[in-house]
Amino acid sequence: MVTVAAAVVAVITVPGAAHAQQVVDPVPAQVRVPLRKAIAALPVATEVRDGYVRTKFKHWVDSDSNGCNTRAEVLLAEATIAPETTGRCTIGEGRWHSYYDNVDVDKAGGLDIDHMVPLAEAWDSGAFDWTPQRRQDYANDLGESRALVAVTAKTNRSKSDQDPATWLPPDPDAVCTYLADWVTVKTRWHLSVDEPEQQTLTARAQQCPNDPITTTLVP
């Protein structure tokens, strides 16, 4: 199995100490690895749904206290035509491209913000063992542009909490991008895959460019 994470160790001299001590520096590791190799590196495990409720992933939050919650931040970042904003951060008309179905949308109310790897799927794949803060960080991940995506409500609700073994975007031209996005998020958050998911990712990736995925691993 290919290792995609690397420990970062800083050697720090402690005043008055006889010897230098090695201290682990929790600097997030960056990875750049071809898609197919990244898929092969994902750990395979049985999913665990016991205990899941959506409220265990707190969202949408305003983590930087600028008046815009995570949903609004994604809408602002992904707009192809900047939207009107009023008040504290009310998003009006603009334009967005829903890549799942190759549809342009002019009203923010017609969009959902999709967790690329759904919350329930994240729980099944390792988040069941996370702290509440880590689950909140995952549900509001603005540090990875692939993690949250503005798409039509119709496609988001069709996807629900399914993984690529049972759901892929309806636009055929979107599939390779979707697979790369999915693998990027699973890699970033150290999430596992089950066997049907791994088999589907492996098979479908053979029909896609083997371009590298790049992300910063969450410690």
**Annotated domain spans of the chain:** 32-216
**Tokens at residue 29, please?**
């590791």
- Could you read off the pLDDT of 53-91 as tens digits, one per residue? 999 999 999 999 999 999 999 999 999 999 999 998 999
- Could you read off the pLDDT of 23-33 as tens digits, one per residue? 444 566 999 99
- Could you read off the pLDDT of 167-209 as tens digits, one per residue? 999 999 999 999 999 999 999 999 999 999 999 999 999 999 9
b/e per residue, 13-30, with b = 16+ CB within 10 A?
A: eeeeeeeeeeeeeeeeee
Give the ranges where the chain is alpha helix by DSSP (H).
Answer: 35-41, 70-78, 119-124, 132-139, 153-159, 175-188, 195-205
Virtual torsion, Cα 40, 43, 44, 49, nearest 10 deg: -140
> CA-to-CA distance for 44 and 49, rounded, in angstroms?
16
Confidence of residue 39 (pLDDT cuts 50, 70, 90): very high
Note the pLDDT of residue 27.
Answer: 62
- Could you read off the pLDDT of 119-139 as tens digits, one per residue? 999 999 999 999 999 999 999
Query: For the residues 89-101, what does the mean pLDDT come to?
Result: 97
Q: pTM here? A: 0.88
Note the pLDDT of residue 26.
Answer: 56
Amino acid of residue 145: S
Q: Which residue has the tokens 């949250």?
A: 148
